[in-house]
Structure 1
């Protein structure tokens, strides 16, 4: 084995433009930087081809087993561009992480001269290249199988969580418009939500006044709501101050206020753990003595899919105030709400542990392919030295 420059073992050719309107659907794959973007009746390359992202998703590597059509946002390498085994070369290119070579200030772009300057370890024979490629293919296939299994476990866990919510709320959607209410379970009653909680909107202090920001009052916004979903929020990254509140329609809402995102990211819910303000993208319910805030939060989460259907708008989907004011809530007495919340939280905590373990596993699996490539090619380099 010997160390050589990538430019000494292959040549990057430019892909060719093929707009969608000029394509005739056929057996040949058309490739962009992200992978297959369509088909055509004829190919532009000779046989097996490596496609390299040149613009946008730069450095992305795709291997086509047959002739294909790489468009003009890509480079390609086929049998006319190298004497190497293409499968081995594709793994080598993935190992090099060509995406790190971006120097463009706007749309990411890959300069092939920068790629050519990268060092690679070239096996002495094509047979060695084939053996390395076959070994890597088998190892990476095992990783992909494990990744798909972890993904399937995640979906099964999500399905179980949904089933727990359905069971908790006796099979009904507990927050609904008047026309959608179902028969209440025994001992439960449908209420107009605004009879149990005061509905408040949020507001954004002027962004042109920096002196109204970075203060000591947390301000809940869509930027953070996904991370806060289903939780009590202690503080936020974006903060306003007393002047921002005083000079806008924003209101300081009390602890226990249930905040429901009603615009763009519709349906996410959090509860204020201390007095805070929110943006106008939220409907905020200040619960009265007959409504447990956590019961309302979980009821909204259970109803999320159905409530999202209510959202309207061409650019950003929104649930408008008239619809929010009409919401009905099905609930038992407050003492029973507390028991329901306690039992649900215990189950959700168990699922959260499973989710955390799966998330950690998926993170490790996402890093494993590059580790396998690094191990394979680093070992080649060590044997040379």
Structure 2
């Protein structure tokens, strides 16, 4: 009788890795980034096409300030606070869509019903925002934030734990428990930082000009950290920053008509434009003129954003934080004109 030795816990064979110089070439790294970027760009395109015309209600600076303040008080991570904002915005967008679907054409023409719904949202905004923080903490941490802990730490809100729990259940049911685990904003920023670090250039006139520059290398960690800090500012002052962007793009102040809001909503929904501009602005702070042009050129190789759009938005962001971008070389200014 032949006996077979069964080894339940065999040590897997060692795989010989290539050396750093031969394995991690720029071409291979770029291929990995491009593959990961495809789904992100598809998602971004979908969000732009489905941009809600009432994004001025969805993107509420005061609610963002509340969520960020709560996150700071409770020492929560950036991932949790951005995820909470994301869940809140998803809920409000979905809620507004359901309101529009249930309204008659006559009601929609007067906006009366939508204004009533918006008033109700405003009245319940605080407990709903806190419920989103709770949900985000459960999605992104193994140490879930309990309602009692939140209420005791934020006694000035004068809310009972069961009130927050009620809104938490309502939000989860309305979203059909579909809450993304990673904040798209931080994910886009991370992707943009990765792209900016893979300088390849292309055959386009703009990138060909940039190849002649002396490029200043920046730490990816520093760029990431600075971009996230700038993102905090943009989220807390979204109306101010985007109005400045609108003035730069159109030469006039934003008009509060429904038609204009519907058009500009596509700009508001473009996360890749925001993330790319934040990374360009971060490069401007850390490396000045020598870093901005190469970063813009790197980003435009892989993402469908025009160099001038990144340059304009980054300039608006930096002007808003009173840190204007230094006079750039003529090639970027020419491309932006």
For Structure 1 versus Structure 2, the TM-score category normalised by the shorter chain is under 0.3
State the TM-score, normalizing by the size of structure 2.
Answer: 0.21
Structure 1 or 2: more helix by fraction: 2
Structure 1 or 2: more strand by fraction: 1
State the TM-score, normalizing by the size of structure 1.
Answer: 0.19
